[in-house]
Amino acid sequence: MEEKLLRVRNLVARYGDEVILNNISFDVIKGEILVILGGSGCGKSTLLRHMVGLSAPSTGSVYIEGADITTCDTKTFHNILKGIGILFQNSALLGSMTIGENIALPIAEYSGLPKSSVDILVNLKLSSVELEGYEDYLPSQLSGGMKKRAGLARALALNPKILFLDEPTAGLDPVISSEIDDLIMKINEKFGTTIVIVTHDLDTIFTVAKRVIMLDKKTKSIIAEGDPKHLKDHSPDPAVRQFFNRNAKIETTWLQ
């Protein structure tokens, strides 16, 4: 039986009086790579923020391993956060710290391990994202793709059960984007990490996702769910088929 590691139920998100997401419900299955997609302004990143507890819904619930993070006490919430890794769109590395220090920060804070053990774990995390030997580099000394890898290493610092990635290939050229996609699949296969990705990158979607949920700006709800390769040709909704079959001109119009 599939284990539901995360459940979103009847979630409503507002900015002021404006409803961004209306009555959103879905599950994230343990061990899967789930992609949340849709056009610009449909609420993808807003949904991600609610799923990791950075924003509170107007109504509705988010359950992680059975605990409702919207109502649980602070101690329970912080324990849940230890099992979550997040890669933000801009990688969010601390510019004044080396890559090694960035990765060591959560390990030292939550593990209580001596520095020698923390250093070993930092090297292991860098190795897992193919950045061996870069622990003494500053973020400003790395390329865009390397920053994404370093951000992934930090997100993996505490061996999270769920990894959340916000536009992991944004701003990267196709070759580097493909390498990041391969790395995401490697992490999923090697560690069994459940991964939730927010993106509109079709190459990433078709490469890594077996299941997607698609948000719609007009209805503020989920308009499609399933295998993207099936939805591409068989969704009953023409907007869904257009999204998956768009050429460069359609993509520009959709995302405006």
Q: How far is CA 129 from CA 132, 187, 188, 220, in A?
A: 8, 9, 12, 36
Indicate whether 253 pLDDT > 70. no
Q: Residue 43, by phi and psi: left (phi above 0), alpha (psi -120 to 50) or beta? A: left
Q: What is the mean pLDDT of the chain?
A: 91
Indicate whether 92 pLDDT > 90. no
For the segment 158-167, the average pLDDT, to the nearest whole number, is: 94
Query: Please, which pLDDT band fits residue 41 given cuts at 50, 70 and 90?
Result: confident
Question: Which tokens belong to 28?
Answer: 């994230």
pLDDT at 246: 78
* Burial of 244 from C-beta contacts in 10 A (0-12 / 13-18 / 19+): buried
Domain boundaries in the chain? 4-83+162-255, 90-159
Task: Classify domain 4-83+162-255 at the CATH class level.
Answer: alpha beta
pTM, two decimal places: 0.90
For the segment 118-143, the average pLDDT, to the nearest whole number, is: 94
For the segment 81-95, the average pLDDT, to the nearest whole number, is: 88
